[in-house]
Amino acid sequence: MNLKLEDTPEHLAFRKEFITWLQSVLPLGWIEGIRDGDEELFKEARAKWDVLTWMKTIGDSGYAAPLWPIEYGGLSGHTWMQQIIREELGNYRLPLAGFNLLGVGLAGPTIIEHGSQGQKERYLKKILTGEEIWCQLFSEPGSGSDLASVATRAVKDGDEWIINGQKVWTTIAQFSKFGMLLARTDPDKPKHEGLSYFILDMKTPGVDVRPLKQMTGSSEFNEVFFSDVRIPAENLVGSEGDGWRCARTTLMNERSTLAGLSIDETTFIGGSARKDPWQLFVDMIPNTKDPQIRQKMAQFYIESTVKEITGLRANLKRMRGETPGPEGGVNKVFNAEYNKRKSSFTVDANGMRAIAWAKDDSTAEGIATRFLRARANTIEGGTSEILRNQMSERILGLPREIEVDKDVPFKEIKRQ
């Protein structure tokens, strides 16, 4: 399955330019190995590659963020350029932003839209080169779907803000240099109005990052506690009380950047060379001659094609320079649930091997990990229920969900 749009001469020229650039920066044999299906040649080239150098190389080139202004490390380009770059990075098994996906995908666009000149000059370039990794300090134990109800407090003290409170689910906080922090600056105002958005240096005294161990065995995300953490006033993004507007920019970019990616796509973000996800799936099914198994696989193939066509429709809009419509949300819900079903099926097809695997059976371990990790897909980046609510309102035109506390001062809202 490899659905493609026809390139215009302008698109084709850019595609060729980008592939030529890739050829000039990747170890010898990488491009040829993939193009000729020579896995050994590719593996040899891959052994000479590391993700940190790659992040610096693509970050310095402008290709990591073609839509960003040239002066901040982008190309001042078009959405179709971004689309072509993404396609070719996928074709050549390369990560877009390495470990700094939240920096490049979320923090950067928010700083470009709402940040001060000084913030743009200080932060953007190092986001692109991966020299400074970012995390997103939004969700709290009592505030996830209803993000505007965050309770972490920021109190002005001279030319500093003092932060107290707690965040949770903070992906890669333990490796991050900076965090995008949403905090409450005015509890007398209704919940959406009393918020402000800050840049937090994660090494500031009083920031306590505690990794959470997941059922996959790894620790992707953390709890983060703030005890009298001092943030300089210059780290406020936008103006005081403007936090919700800034956060919406981050969230919109989150949906389009990473929501609904399967583990095969997220390990790809981390820089492991991946195979085509469909081939990877087929390779994990042992008994493909069984008619019932084949029937189910055909169904997954059909759904995967539908998903690809929806993605293609969004890409077509990007290639025309337009902003995609509801395709992103629709595919996020579909993809998340598809990943769950597909990973459950893979466990079933492998039987005991996928439940109690031998120590050296990394394929079986991978099958179990994919199954467990897929549970998060319907939660991260907005739950399927919340996205369905949004689709019902924005696409189907159903009445908005009633929000009884929308105009009530935050301090008067009953909280657990």
Ligand X SMILES: Cc1cc2nc3c(=O)[nH]c(=O)nc-3n(C[C@H](O)[C@H](O)[C@H](O)COP(=O)(O)OP(=O)(O)OC[C@H]3O[C@@H](n4cnc5c(N)ncnc54)[C@H](O)[C@@H]3O)c2cc1C
Q: In whole angstroms, give the CA distance from residue 96 to residue 128.
A: 10
The contact pattern for ligand X, residues 114-143, with x = CB under 6 A and - = no contact, is: ---------------------xx-xx----
Instruction: Please report, for residues 122, 123, 178, 296, 317, the alpha-carbon distance to residue 173 in angstroms, rounded to integers and kept in the order given.
Output: 20, 17, 8, 39, 34
Task: Determine if 385 is a binding residue for ligand X (CB under 6 A).
Answer: yes
Among residues 8, 145, 218, 219, the one that binds ligand X under rule CB under 6 A = 145
In angstroms, what is the minimal distance from the CB of 320 to ligand X? Answer: 31
Q: Which of 220, 254, 327, 380 is catalytic?
A: 254
Q: Which is nearer to ligand X, 58 or 102 (CB)?
A: 102
Binding mask 207-236 for ligand X (x = CB under 6 A): --------------x---------------
Instruction: Give the chain's length.
Output: 416
**Rounded CA gap, 373 and 368, in Å?**
9
Question: Would you count residue 144 as binding ligand X (CB under 6 A)?
Answer: yes
- Residue 380 engages ligand X in binding (rule: CB under 6 A): yes
Task: Give the torsion through C-alpha atoms of 140, 332, 135, 268, to 10 deg.
Answer: 140
For ligand X, the closer CB: 9 or 397: 397
The minimum distance between CB 253 and ligand X, in angstroms, equals 13
* Cβ at position 200, least distance to ligand X in Å: 13
Query: 36 or 146, CB closer to ligand X?
Result: 146
Span from 4-12, 278-286, 313-321, 378-386 in contact with ligand X (CB under 6 A):
378-386
Active site residue 254: yes
**Binding residue (CB under 6 A) for ligand X from 386, 390, 392, 409:** 386
Nearer to ligand X, 84 or 259 (CB): 259
**CB nearer to ligand X: pick between 94 and 376:** 376
Q: Which range in 80-88, 226-234, 356-364, 385-393 contacts ligand X by CB under 6 A?
A: 385-393
Residue 7, CB-side half-sphere exposure with 13 Å CA sphere: 12
Query: What number of other Cβ atoms are within 10 A of residue 277's Cβ?
Result: 18
**Per CB under 6 A, does 32 bind ligand X?**
no
Of the pair 14, 169, the CB lying nearest ligand X is at 169
User: Closest distance between ligand X and the C-beta of residue 382, in Å?
Assistant: 6
- Least separation in angstroms between residue 109's CB and ligand X is 16
Binding mask 388-407 for ligand X (x = CB under 6 A): -x-----------x------
Q: Tell me which residue has tokens 């007398």.
A: 188
Both tokens of 121, joined, read 């000059």
Q: Minimal CB distance to ligand X: which residue?
A: 144
Q: Residues 6 or more apart from 154 whose CB is under 8 A from it?
A: 161, 162, 163, 183, 184, 185, 196, 198, 231
Least CB distance to ligand X at residue 283 (A): 25
Nearer Cβ to ligand X, position 96 or 376?
Answer: 376
Q: Which of residues 150-209 bind ligand X (CB under 6 A)?
A: 169-171
State in angstroms the smallest separation of the CB of 7 from ligand X: 36
Q: How far is the CB of 40 from ligand X (least distance, A)?
A: 35
Residues classed as catalytic: 254
Which residues here bind ligand X, judged by CB under 6 A?
135-136, 138-139, 144-145, 169-171, 221, 376, 379-380, 382-383, 385-386, 389, 401
